[in-house]
């Protein structure tokens, strides 16, 4: 079989040019829309990286529903968008410039740095545009919203102002996830995207009790997985109701939870027991003097290094005594605030120790060497109880992959926790596909929602529009450029915006902007408002992204809407699984298993790649991308349909009629039309419910039925002299192909167009067609069940034939079919006879069974011999390059009397079967003649072209 692949891709390119030349996309948006608007929002990608195979998945699904709704008579304007701010962009530029942190950016200058960011955003714009075009994703990129554009930023400010006016935006000093490399806070949704399993060293540390009664060998044992926080320890926490034991272990007396003694000190001996409440107030010596020295002489000095109680203490791991470093843990900070523990930083925002941390000064806290050196130091001083490797899931920066630390500092927050009920209520109204996302992955996230850490101490982002008065400290939120009294060409980015001084409304003093920018996820989350979709085109009827966006865009879109007091931003959401490699591994540069989408599209066509995404499994499941499956799909769906269309083109003669009311339909035709309308009904129902996989598979099954059953059973009708029946067959075929083209159009827009145009669709494009309407009367239940019964009988009989070793070209005398109904229509019986090549079919009543009489009579053998000759000659015709318009005189020569008799009996069938005009049995064999045995009779067979 010749390799048809290049032509698929070439043909798609021709279709693309056809669409562009004829402005088809625009026409589909502008055509009559009796059913009104259908709203789609494009979740904006970032064009500073090349599009990957997972973008094919998202874009394929994004494209499908709008195309379907357009054909149904809706107007589906599709505005593209680009996400252009934030860490992803800044990091790319830092890499380009060889920077490793913020200090170098400041030195380089914020203005030139941001200029570079702005350029970098468009690095792969051409790739993205071409990829989007080539995939057939219809979206208006010419009028796309761009998140860095001043008008968009101003729109975002308007949203922030509304949130501010609702009292939901506030500043607080507290422990927040912080990326030391990027030098900025991260929100809980960003954090949720960066968990990785890591092995850390965890340590059990001895804190020396200094209460008078001890002999200097009594210790409290606490456990931590972040040894770098130990120098900042200011308290130990116990559970009031937890039972503790003092264990004699060597020379030491160690306090730990009683239930953990067997595990931690199995050879120890319990000398005393006490409730946690009895330990409260016990004082101990700081592990390191750094914090105490730094706060010496202040009020705080006396407030640390004792045992307190806290309700978060458990005995599930650790020792039941919790090391507390208030500046580097959220629980710790809350406890510290409650009981007034000393708050003092030993670590800078860049994650390195301050000079006050002595031997650790200047070192990055997350370096493994730091943990090792602290442990060595503690061991040297006899303060290490034990250490062990500890495997856990730990958050990393979603962009730069650095370990995140928890760090106390000032940040801006949106009070999402106060909106939890409303978030859940609005989520209830969303139709999620798959449905379990609503209460599962997304609902669970919302139930645990934290306040949104909104500010970023970065450069390339939407500036937080809060101005603080230098005189009285009053804060005001700016909602538009007009409030700033700036020029029309004002660039709202840093550093320009930082220079704008505003008059304080309270005291008339000078107010300056805070230095922060906003979480980049806010940019896209606020897109309905900043891009002008709200209020007319709100909420969206449909959005679609991959499952990671439950912590990203899906979340921020809902969060912003709810913070504004509005209803859900989208009615229907398809949430996609991830695309993995063929072995189920995540694709990554380092593993070298990245699949390049354009290579796949060039090799197999965009339609095949799209079809793969729709049908390989349910949208919500992760997909193991395997090129082999793609090849199979391409052949099974598009290869087969292509062959059917070619067959149609061979016989089509322009006389086709509408099939409604067409006389002379065979049982096979009625069945085919029933299958067609059944499929129209189910595909429509499926897509209207945002199910994609089943409809696509149903179309595949319909194509298979059309080709391998209806057409295969109908082939002779096209070649016969019964002109009326040929017309019926052609009309049925055309109806099927046109309808399939329409059903397929949202899924495989190129191939559907190709079929539509080749079969003679009336509109300039299948995409301008109206969606097929189901004709319920065509869904003939009797035809469907009888044909299903027939096909089952045929396949069982063919199996029986194969088991008996009888070639299907050898006619057999009879078959017996037992059916519960005892009935099978005459046309279906004829079908069975023909398919199975038996002379008679007996239908009896009883439990479903089939049997075959495999006894051969000489007459049956003669008939089989002729069938074999027909097959051979047709194979020779094909290899001789003859077409169906060529006629031949067939030549058969044999000395066997049985062959002569066979030719005499079946002369007409032979001549007709090979598109011949006559039979010659004497004289010289033609050049192309072959000698072979059929049914043990030797013969020479060939033909002469006429
Ligand atoms: Zn980072
Ligand atoms: Zn003021």
User: For every residue of 105-156, which 3-state class applies, written as one string?
Assistant: HHHHCHHHHHHHHHHHCCCCHHHHHHHHHHHCCCCEEEEEEECCCHHHHHHH
Query: Which tokens go with 332?
Result: 């710790």
The whole-angstrom separation of Cα 467 and Cα 422 is 30
The whole-angstrom separation of Cα 148 and Cα 460 is 9
642-679 pLDDT, tens per residue? 999 999 999 998 888 888 888 899 999 999 999 999 99
Q: Looking at the annotation, which residues are catalytic?
A: 44, 83, 521, 549, 553, 586, 589
Query: Which tokens go with 588?
Result: 């990554």
What is the total residue count of the chain? 946
Between helices 597-604 and 5-21, what is the axis angle to 10°? 100
CB 790 within 8 A of CB 834: no
Query: If you search the block for the tokens 């449909």, which residue do you land on?
Result: 542
Please enumerate in sequence order all residues whose Cβ is within 8 A of that of 848, keeping only pairs 6 or more positions apart, or say none: 818, 819, 820
CA of 1 to the centre of ligand 1 (A): 53
Least confident window among 220-234, 517-531, 627-641, 742-756: 627-641
Which class is 199-329+358-393 in CATH? alpha beta
Q: Residue range 694-709: average pLDDT? A: 97
| Sign of the four-CA dihedral 241, 242, 248, 249 | negative
- Name residue 208's beta-bridge partners: 219
CB 393 within 8 A of CB 331: no
Find, among 43, 47, 87, 54, the residue nearest to 190 by Cα: 87
CA of 397 to the centre of ligand 1 (A): 5
- Name residue 400's beta-bridge partners: none
Burial status of residue 122 (CB atoms within 10 A of its CB: 0-12, 13-18, 19 or more): middle
CB atoms within 10 A of CB 495: 15
Where is pLDDT greater, at 378 or 297? Answer: 378
CB 765 within 8 A of CB 136: no
CA of 145 to the centre of ligand 1 (A): 27
- Name residue 273's beta-bridge partners: 245
CA of 159 to the centre of ligand 2 (A): 24
Query: Which tokens go with 939?
Result: 């013969």
CB 383 within 8 A of CB 221: no
Largest Cα–Cα distance of the chain, in whole Å? Answer: 128
CB 850 within 8 A of CB 812: no
> What is the distance of C-alpha 662 from the center of its chain?
46
From the CA of 504, the nearest ligand is 2
Question: What is the reported pLDDT for 934?
Answer: 85
Find, among 812, 783, 815, 782, the residue nearest to 797 by Cα: 815
Query: Tell me, what DSSP letter sits at residue 710?
Result: I
The whole-angstrom separation of Cα 624 and Cα 789 is 36
Could you give the 3-state DSSP secondary structure of residue 263?
helix
List the chain domain ranges.
Answer: 199-329+358-393, 784-853, 858-945
The whole-angstrom separation of Cα 328 and Cα 318 is 18
Query: If you search the block for the tokens 């029986």, which residue do you land on?
Result: 800
Find, among 292, 326, 290, the residue nearest to 308 by Cα: 326
151-210 pLDDT, tens per residue? 999 999 999 999 999 999 999 999 999 999 999 999 988 998 889 999 999 999 999 999
Binding region for ATP: 589
CA atoms within 13 A on the CB side of 638: 31
Query: Which tokens go with 449?
Result: 């929602």
Residue 2 in this model has a pLDDT that exceeds 50: no
Question: What is the reported pLDDT for 662?
Answer: 85
| Measured CA distances, 776 to 545, 679, 682, 745, 887 (Å) | 35, 11, 12, 22, 44
H/E element, 103: helix 102-108
Please enumerate in sequence order all residues whose Cβ is within 8 A of that of 812, keeping only pairs 6 or more positions apart, or say none: 801, 806, 836, 837, 838, 839, 852, 853, 854, 856, 860
Least confident window among 252-256, 297-301, 828-832: 297-301
| Measured CA distances, 652 to 587, 759, 764, 805 (Å) | 48, 9, 20, 39
CB 702 within 8 A of CB 74: no
Query: Which tokens go with 213?
Result: 């009664």
From the CA of 512, the nearest ligand is 2
From the CA of 184, the nearest ligand is 1
Query: Tell me, what DSSP letter sits at residue 493?
Result: S
- Name residue 574's beta-bridge partners: 433, 544
Burial status of residue 340 (CB atoms within 10 A of its CB: 0-12, 13-18, 19 or more): exposed
The whole-angstrom separation of Cα 9 and Cα 599 is 11
Question: What is the reported pLDDT for 4?
Answer: 43
CA of 185 to the centre of ligand 1 (A): 9
Q: Residue range 329-353: average pLDDT? A: 94
437-394-448 Cα angle (round to 5): 40
CB 748 within 8 A of CB 607: yes
Least confident window among 403-412, 455-464, 733-742, 880-889: 880-889
Residue 264 in this model has a pLDDT that exceeds 80: yes
Find, among 22, 247, 263, the residue nearest to 757 by Cα: 22
Round to the nearest angstrom and report the end-to-end CA distance of the chain. 28
How does 874-890 read in b/e, with b if 16+ C-beta sit within 10 Å?
A: eebbeeeebeeeeebbb
From the CA of 405, the nearest ligand is 1
| Measured CA distances, 828 to 11, 662, 717, 724 (Å) | 40, 21, 17, 21
Residue 333 in this model has a pLDDT that exceeds 80: yes
CA atoms within 13 A on the CB side of 733: 34
Please enumerate in sequence order all residues whose Cβ is within 8 A of that of 195, keeping only pairs 6 or more positions apart, or say none: 393, 394, 395, 396
Question: What is the reported pLDDT for 1?
Answer: 36
Question: What is the reported pLDDT for 49?
Answer: 85
CB 293 within 8 A of CB 217: no
CA dihedral 389, 391, 397, 401 (to 10 degrees): 70
Please enumerate in sequence order all residues whose Cβ is within 8 A of that of 912, keeping only pairs 6 or more positions apart, or say none: none
Question: What is the reported pLDDT for 797?
Answer: 96
Query: If you search the block for the tokens 């693309």, which residue do you land on?
Result: 16
The whole-angstrom separation of Cα 558 and Cα 538 is 12
Please enumerate in sequence order all residues whose Cβ is within 8 A of that of 916, keeping only pairs 6 or more positions apart, or say none: 887, 888, 889, 890, 910, 943
**Banded pLDDT at 766 (limits 50, 70, 90):** very high
CB 840 within 8 A of CB 833: yes
Binding region: 589
Query: Tell me, what DSSP letter sits at residue 364?
Result: B
Please enumerate in sequence order all residues whose Cβ is within 8 A of that of 329, keeping only pairs 6 or more positions apart, or say none: 175, 229, 406
- In terms of DSSP H, where are the helices of 274-410? 276-279, 290-294, 330-339, 368-380
Residue 5 in this model has a pLDDT that exceeds 80: no
Burial status of residue 822 (CB atoms within 10 A of its CB: 0-12, 13-18, 19 or more): exposed
Return mean pLDDT, the chain: 94
H/E element, 19: helix 5-21
CB 326 within 8 A of CB 333: yes
Please enumerate in sequence order all residues whose Cβ is within 8 A of that of 588, keeping only pairs 6 or more positions apart, or say none: 594
CA of 298 to the centre of ligand 2 (A): 31
Q: Residue range 461-481: average pLDDT? A: 96
CA of 422 to the centre of ligand 1 (A): 32
Query: If you search the block for the tokens 């595949």, which residue do you land on?
Result: 700
The whole-angstrom separation of Cα 939 and Cα 946 is 22
Between helices 723-744 and 640-651, what is the axis angle to 10°? 140
Query: Tell me, what DSSP letter sits at residue 939?
Result: E
CB 393 within 8 A of CB 148: no
């Amino acid at each position: 079989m010749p390799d048809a692949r290049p032509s698929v891709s070439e043909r798609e390119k021709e279709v693309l040019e056809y669409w562009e030349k004829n402005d088809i996309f625009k026409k589909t948006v502008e055509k009559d829309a009796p059913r009104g608007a259908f709203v789609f929002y494009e979740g904006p990608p970032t064009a500073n990286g090349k599009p990957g195979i997972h973008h094919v998945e998202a874009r394929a699904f994004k494209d499908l529903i709008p195309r379907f709704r357009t054909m149904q008579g809706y107007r589906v304007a599709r505005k593209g968008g680009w996400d252009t701010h934030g860490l992803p962009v800044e990091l790319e530029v830092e890499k380009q410039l060889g920077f490793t942190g913020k200090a170098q950016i400041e030195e380089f200058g914020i203005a030139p740095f941001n200029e570079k960011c702005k350029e970098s955003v468009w690095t792969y714009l051409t790739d993205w545009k071409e990829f989007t075009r080539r995939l057939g994703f219809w979206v208006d990129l010419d009028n796309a919203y761009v998140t860095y554009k001043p008008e968009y930023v101003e729109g975002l400010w308007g949203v922030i102002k509304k949130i501010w006016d609702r009292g939901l935006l506030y500043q607080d000093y507290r422990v927040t996830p912080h990326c030391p490399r990027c030098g900025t806070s991260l929100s809980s949704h960003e954090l949720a995207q960066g968990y990785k399993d890591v092995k850390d060293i965890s340590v059990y540390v001895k804190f020396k009790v200094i209460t008078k009664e001890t002999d200097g060998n009594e210790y409290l044992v606490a456990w931590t997985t972040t040894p770098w926080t130990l120098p900042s320890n200011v308290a130990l926490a116990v559970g009031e109701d937890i039972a503790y034991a003092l264990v004699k272990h060597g020379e030491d007396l160690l306090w730990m939870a009683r239930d953990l003694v067997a595990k931690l000190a199995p050879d120890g001996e319990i000398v005393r027991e006490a409730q946690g409440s009895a330990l409260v107030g016990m004082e101990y010596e700081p592990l390191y003097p750094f914090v105490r020295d730094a706060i010496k002489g202040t009020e705080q000095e006396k407030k640390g290094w004792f045992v307190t109680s806290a309700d978060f203490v458990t005995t599930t791991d650790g020792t039941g005594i919790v090391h507390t470093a208030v500046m580097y843990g959220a629980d710790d900070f809350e406890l510290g605030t409650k009981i007034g523990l000393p708050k003092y930083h030993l670590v800078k925002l860049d994650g390195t120790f301050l000079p006050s941390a002595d031997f650790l000064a200047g070192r990055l806290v997350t370096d493994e060497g730091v943990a090792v050196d602290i442990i060595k130091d503690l061991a040297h001083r006899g303060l290490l109880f034990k250490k062990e490797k500890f495997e856990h899931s730990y958050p990393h920066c979603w962009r730069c992959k650095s370990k995140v630390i928890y760090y106390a500092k000032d940040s801006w927050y949106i009070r999402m926790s106060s909106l939890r009920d409303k978030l859940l209520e609005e989520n209830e109204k969303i139709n999620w596909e798959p449905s379990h996302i609503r209460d599962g992955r997304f609902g669970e996230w919302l139930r645990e929602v934290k306040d949104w850490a909104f500010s970023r101490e970065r450069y390339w982002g939407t500036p937080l529009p809060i101005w603080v008065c230098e005189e009285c400290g009053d804060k005001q939120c700016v909602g538009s450029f007009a409030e700033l009294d700036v020029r029309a060409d004002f660039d709202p980015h840093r550093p320009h915006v930082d220079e704008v001084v505003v008059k304080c409304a309270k005291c008339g003093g000078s107010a300056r902007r805070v230095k922060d920018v906003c979480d980049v996820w806010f940019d896209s989350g606020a897109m309905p408002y900043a891009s002008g979709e709200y209020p007319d085109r709100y909420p969206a009827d449909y959005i679609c992204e991959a499952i990671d966006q439950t912590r990203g865009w899906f979340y921020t879109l809902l969060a912003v809407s709810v913070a504004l007091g509005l209803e859900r931003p989208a009615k229907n959401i398809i949430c996609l699984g991830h695309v993995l490699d063929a072995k189920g591994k995540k694709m990554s540069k380092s593993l070298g298993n990245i699949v390049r989408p354009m290579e796949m599209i060039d090799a197999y066509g965009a339609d095949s790649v799209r079809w793969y995404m729709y049908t390989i499994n349910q949208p919500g499941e992760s997909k193991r991308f395997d090129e082999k499956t793609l090849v199979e799909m391409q052949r099974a769906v598009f290869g087969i349909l292509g062959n059917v269309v070619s067959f149609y083109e061979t016989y089509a003669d322009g006389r086709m009629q509408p099939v409604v009311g067409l006389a002379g339909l065979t049982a096979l035709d009625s069945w085919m039309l029933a299958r067609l309308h059944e499929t129209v009904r189910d595909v429509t129902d499926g897509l209207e419910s945002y199910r994609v996989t089943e409809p696509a598979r149903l179309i595949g099954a319909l194509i298979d039925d059309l080709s391998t059953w209806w057409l295969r059973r109908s082939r002779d009708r096209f070649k016969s002299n019964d002109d009326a029946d040929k017309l019926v067959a052609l009309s049925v075929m055309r109806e099927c192909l046109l309808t399939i083209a329409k059903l397929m159009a949202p899924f495989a827009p190129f191939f559907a167009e190709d079929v539509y145009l080749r079969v003679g669709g009336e509109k300039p494009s299948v995409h301008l067609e109206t969606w097929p309407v189901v004709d319920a009367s065509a869904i003939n239940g009797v035809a469907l069940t009888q044909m299903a019964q027939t096909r089952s009988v045929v396949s069982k009989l063919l199996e029986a034939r194969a088991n008996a070793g009888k070639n299907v070209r050898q006619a057999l005398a009879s078959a017996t079919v037992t059916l519960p109904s005892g009935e099978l229509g005459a046309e279906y019986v004829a079908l069975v006879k023909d398919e199975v090549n038996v002379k008679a079919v007996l239908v009896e009543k009883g439990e479903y069974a089939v049997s075959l009489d495999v006894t051969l009579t000489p007459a049956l053998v003669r008939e089989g011999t002729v069938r074999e000759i027909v097959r051979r000659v047709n194979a020779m015709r094909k290899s001789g390059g003859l077409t169906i318009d060529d006629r031949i005189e067939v030549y058969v020569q044999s000395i066997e009397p049985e062959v002569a008799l066979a030719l005499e009996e079946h002369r007409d069938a032979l001549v007709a079967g090979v598109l011949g005009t006559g039979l010659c049995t004497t004289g010289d064999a033609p050049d192309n003649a072959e000698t072979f045995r059929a049914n043990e009779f030797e013969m020479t067979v060939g033909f002469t072209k006429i």
